[in-house]
Every structure is written in C-alpha cells, then in structure tokens.
Amino acid sequence: MNFSLSENQQMIIGTVRDFAEKHIRPNVMEWDESQTFPVEVFKKLGDTGLMGVLVPEEYGGAGLGYFEYVSVISEIAKVCGSIGLSLAAHNSLCTGHILAFGSDEQKRRWLPKLASAEWIGAWGLTEANTGSDALGMNTTAVLEGDYYVVNGSKNWITHGKSGNIAVVMVRTGEKGDSKGISALVIEKGTTGFAHGKKENKLGMRASETTELIFDNCLVPKENLLGKEGEGFKQAMYVLDGGRISIAALALGMAKGAMNAAVNYSKQRYQFGQPISSFQGISFKIADMATEIEAAELLIMQAADLKNRGAEVTRIAAMAKYYASEVCVRTATEAVQIFGGYGYTKDFPVEKFYRDSKLCTIGEGTSEIQKIVIAREVLK
C-alpha cells in the first residue's frame, strides 16, 4: 500500500490547515465556554466543499476519497475536536447514509443541500435506554396510508437542534429483530418533530448534542431509505465508515496535543535546561509519537480498504479502538508535561484532555469495538 500523499492531497491539507488557523483557532475557547455551535463556520466549510467530501460532484460534493477525508478531519481536529466531530458526523452519518442507500431521486433531493451546508445533517440511532443495544429501541414507525407515524425519542444526537434534516432509525417490526428496523429521513419542520434538551458536556462542547422527540410525527413514505426492515443493516454499514472518521478525529487531537507538548517541553526550562532534555519527558514524547504513528497506519489501511470497496469492519473497529485510546493517553501525558499549566484553560492541552474521552465512547465504545474485532477474528 502506498500512503504517500499526492500533490492534490497535499494542497487539500494545506487549504484545511489555513482554514482552521483563520476561522477556528481564534474562537476555540469562546465556543467551548459558551457551548456555541458555530453554524457560520460550517457554512464556510460548505463553500470549500468540505461538508460533502465523499459526495460525488454530480450531487454537489467534492467527489474525494477516504484518504482525503481522514486528512480533512484530522487537520481540523488538531485545532478543535468539537468542529472535527461535527464535520465527521455530518459527512459520515447523515450524508453518508443517504449517499450509500438513497435512491437517485433522494440523493438529488438532499445531497446538494448537505454538501453545500445549506442544510446541516443529524443521524439518530441511540435512545435513552438503548445505547449499545440498538435492537432494543423503542421509537416506532407505523405506516398509515402515505405516511409513517413516528413516536419515541433519540438521545445524544449531534446537531439535534440546529440540524435541518435527520436520518433516523425506527422500529417497524418486533423489538430485538434486526430486520424490524428501518431508516427514515425526517426534515426539520415536519409535523410532530422537535428537539429536546441540549446536553451540558465535559468536552466537545461546541459540537451540539440534543434529544430528538417524535410525537405522532408524520413522515412521507417516500422518505424511507432502501426497503422497510433494512435499517439496522444500513446503520451497521454506516458506522463502519463513521468509525474511520472518529479514528481520524482522535488522530488529529492526539497530534495536536503532542505538538503542544513538544513545543512546550522545548521552551520550559528547569535546572538550567529545557525539560525535553530530561529522560522522563523525552520518553513520554517517544511513546506518544510511536502510538500516533501506529494509529495513523491503521487508519490509512482502513481508508484504503474503504476506497477499494473491500470489507472494512475489522480494520475500522481496530482503527477506532486504538486511535481513540491513544488519543486519551496522549492528551493525559500532554497535561502531565505541562504540569500545573496543563490544568488551566490558558493552554490547549486542557481542552484536548476533555475532548479526547468522547472518542472512546461515541459511535461504539471501546468495549463494543473489542466485541466487533473479536467476532471478526474468531468467525
């Protein structure tokens, strides 16, 4: 496998890096403190084509592949994990689900608006009492004439309040039946569709997270993605790609935390020399660098498989599991290198420390990734 970047890929990375420095870095802590979801930034990202990285040009997207996609996510995440997370959720989940399973008419109806960020996308699988146990969902959809009547709620939904459109998994059959779940596209303003409370989170505070509420919500039957009963299978496929994006998110934050720690260790003097010259500090940096390199290789392997349309479940789970755990370890050690300063909001590693933990939980916990990996290895 050749993971060297082409001239075009290098240009894309440079463009994203410049965008992050200009439009994101100056506002990172303000957005974090106020829990502001900066919609205007995503509109600007839409102007650059980054809200539809994988969407073909015929549907208004950039028409790029997974190498470019993971590079975009990780470059943004080096500066702000929240913006990287929202970018990943919009691209991989909502947009990615419609791209993978929508009819041509559905793609032409929704993808151009998503790729341009005219509309922000959300995706709903998790419920209050059914996190990893997705087959136990309680949100139901009953077909009555030309409409599905949807009742229930979804939790931990990225862009649940500000999103203009959501792909939602609903139960159309028996609870516990993998063929009893379907995927519906529900637009903002649909009768009976509302958002609930916004979560007050430890980290990723500029990435909006809310409930979705359905009270006799009337969804046109033509908004069904694929066939009735295919929703769970579709969701698992979408999550495979989503796990690569979360791995890229973790990679970017790990790199951001390590870069901050390296720079600080060269500038901070104790006992007449930079602390980077002390073995205790240099060994921490060596471990960071090695684990980040290994995580990136796993992610690039997953991206290569995805580009080729090959089976990616095992490698995507490995990449997500390993990169997210590396991200937490790197952020933790970065705080340690900064010492007391690392515990304050005046330095960037404090935010990386808080943001990193989400990567071991969202889109399947580390424990779920181990189940997936073991199942794939043992089958």
**226 is written with which tokens?**
């694929």
Pairing relation of β-strands 269-270 and 273-274?
Answer: antiparallel
Predicted local confidence at residue 239, as pLDDT: 96
- 363 included as an active-site residue: yes
Tokens of 33: 């403190």
Look at strands 121-124 and 165-171 and give their pairing.
parallel
Strands 147-158 and 165-171: unpaired
Quote the pLDDT of residue 80.
98
Q: Which residues of 299-328 are buried (b: 16+ CB within 10 A; e: fewer)?
A: bbbbbbbbeeeeebbbbbbbbbbbbbbbbb
**Block mean pLDDT (10 aa), the chain, length 379:** 83 97 98 98 96 98 97 98 98 98 98 98 95 94 98 98 98 96 98 97 98 98 98 97 98 98 98 98 98 98 96 98 98 98 98 98 96 97
Burial-class residue 17 by CB neighbours within 10 Å (0-12, 13-18, 19+). Answer: middle
pLDDT of residue 131: 87
DSSP state of 177: -
Residue type, 134: A
pLDDT for 303 equals 96
**Sequence-separated (6 or more) residues with CB below 8 Å from residue 136:** 129, 130, 175, 176
CA distance 202 to 346: 17
| Catalytic residue, candidates 57, 230, 363, 367 | 363
Q: Which of 256, 350, 374, 306 is nearest to 32 (CA)?
A: 350
What are the structure tokens assigned to 34, written together?
């106020």
Q: How would DSSP label each residue in 332-378?
A: HHHHHHHGGGGGSTTSTHHHHHHHHGGGGTTTS-HHHHHHHHHHHHH
Its pTM stands at: 0.97
pLDDT (0 to 100) of residue 280? 98
Residue 263 near residue 288 (C-beta atoms within 8 A): no
pLDDT at 4: 81
- Residue 58 CA to residue 63 CA, distance in Å, equals 8
Of 234, 328, 249, whose CA–CA distance to 69 is shortest? 249
Query: Judging by beta carbons within 10 Å of its beta carbon (0-12, 13-18, 19+), is residue 341 exposed, middle or buried?
Result: middle
Q: Identify the bridge partners of residue 151 per DSSP, sorted by sequence position.
A: 140
